[in-house]
Amino acid sequence: MNTFIFVNKKSSINRQMFEVVETKGKGHPDNICDTLAERISANYSNYCLEHFGVVLRHMIDKLSLLGGGSKVMFGGGEMTSPIRMLINGRFTNRYGDIHIDYMKIVVDTIYDYFHELFPLLDLQKYLIIIDNTHHNEGPGVVYDKDNTTKNERMKFFEVRDHQDAARHNNHNRCNDTSTTVSYYPMSKLENTVLSIEQTLNSFDYKSRNPWTGTDIKVMGLRKNKDVEITCCVPLISKYVKDVDDYILKLKGIESDILKIVHSFFKNNKITLFLNTRDNYEKNDLYLTLIGSSVESGDEGAVGRGNRSRGVIPFSRNFSMEAACGKNPVYHTGKLFTAIGDVISKKIYEEFHVENVVYCTSKMGDKIDNPWNISIELNHNISDVDKNKICDFVNQLLYNHSMITKDIINGSIKLNSY
């Protein structure tokens, strides 16, 4: 494995002239898909570990969502058509003679999370789960003329015996050619937009302001010392009696957001925009029945939401890998996102140097010996410290199964929720 450490003496992200960053809230359709893909993968993995002692092959990183229909009025409203979850992916559905009811795991996970997000939604009536799963092995199986093959991939999603099960670690080989990008620390602007979303979507805030929906979106701009924030915050119609009440509640939310921004930027010019599309005269308001645009037609898909730090950092290098829902054992887009995040944070905590970590793998590489890991530092450190970083990287790769365990148990998160 080639570990390349280099120095790019650019200024700290907080001192650069321009920065723009976004976060999508937990009720945003894309973030719903990311979170559900992760939870389904973790719940399936834990089921397999409990019953068979091994994480069986699966991937649910193409899960998607189609919005329903709603009619919103002050003080209430009604759903007019259901939300649909499309379960696109693959699972191992049998261990020897034991059938694995993976769709029960999928359905239970979705219902639990939708109940958490949308307590006002009648799930039995307005949530449809569509099973598009299959068990095809993917490319790579070549048959002889007698219609036989020695390629074990022909039973990629099958387990006939313990020998088959042992191969579900993919022989500790990378399943894909990919590059992931990680960085640390997060900037003040990144922490600001993330704090706004997580505060407004916290249990404590919702208990005091039940009219605040979950499909919150925050975009932040910093131009030198000028900080501009725009937020889209849905209000829930059950708790809003008229336009004046909507405006009053929105002003309370605006005040709360400004307190958060000022806690990060004490000596900056702050400009806040909130629900900028609202047109009070035409009743064009971000007023929702359940708190998310998913009730009224918006779609979502895995990989279109936040990156692993919980934001979309437009002013940085970042990977387009859709980590959520991928197999946590050998899928490089997921595993190396987590590995890179751990490496990057460790470097900053130990050596106080901002950094970016690039993990690149070729399909078929050993997971503990990928094609390349490159680490960009924003100032020099000693050769001794560089060697310490290399030693840590090699140790982490050698123990990559521990990263898999941390992903499954939730101590490493690949999205905000």
pLDDT digits (tens, 9 = 90+) for 331-375: 999 999 999 999 999 999 999 999 999 999 999 999 999 999 999
Residues 201 and 91 in one domain: no
What pLDDT shows up at residue 63? 97
Q: What is the mean pLDDT of residues 241-268?
A: 97
For residue 176, pLDDT over 70 is answered with yes
pLDDT at 1: 63
- The reply to whether 22 falls in a domain is no
Tell me, yes or no, whether 103 lies in a domain: yes
Residue 272: CA count within 13 A, CB half-sphere: 21
Asked whether residue 105 is assigned to any structural domain, the reply reads: yes
Q: Is 7 in the same domain as 36?
A: no
Q: Give the pLDDT mean for 298-311.
A: 95
Do residues 84 and 232 share a domain?
Answer: no
Residue 234 domain-assigned?
yes
Write the CA distances from 188 to 15, 232, 256, 265, 266, integer angstroms: 10, 20, 18, 8, 11
CATH number of the structural domain spanning residue 210: 3.30.300.340
CATH number, position 328: 3.30.300.280
> What mean pLDDT is predicted for residues 119-131?
97
Nearest-angstrom CA–CA distance, 85 and 40: 13
59 part of a folded domain: yes
pLDDT (0 to 100) of residue 308: 95
- Together in a domain, 226 and 354: no
Q: Which of 116, 142, 171 is the last residue of a domain?
A: 171
Please indicate, yes or no, whether residues 150 and 166 belong to a single structural domain of this protein. yes
Q: Are residues 160 and 181 in the same domain?
A: no
Helix ranges, 118-153 (H) = 123-126
For 23, phi then psi, to 5°, come to -140, 145
Per-residue pLDDT at 242 exceeds 80? yes
Question: 142 and 50, same structural domain?
Answer: yes
339, 212: one domain: no
Q: Which of 90-104, 128-142, 264-278 has the lowest mean pLDDT?
A: 128-142
Q: Domain of residue 266: give its range.
A: 188-297
**Residue 151 — pLDDT band, cuts 50, 70, 90?**
low
Count of alpha carbons within 13 angstroms of residue 325, beta-carbon side: 28
- Can you tell me the distance from the alpha carbon of 290 to that of 335, in angstroms, rounded to the nearest whole number? 35
Q: Is residue 237 part of a domain?
A: yes
Q: How many domains is the chain built from?
A: 3
Query: What does the mean pLDDT of the chain come to?
Result: 95
In the predicted structure, residue 204 carries a pLDDT above the cut 80: yes
Question: Which among 396, 392, 382, 391 has a CA at the least distance from the CA of 7?
Answer: 382
Per-residue pLDDT at 144: 78
Kindly state the average pLDDT of the residues 298-325. Answer: 95
Chain length of the chain? 417
Q: Is 307 within the bounds of a domain?
A: no
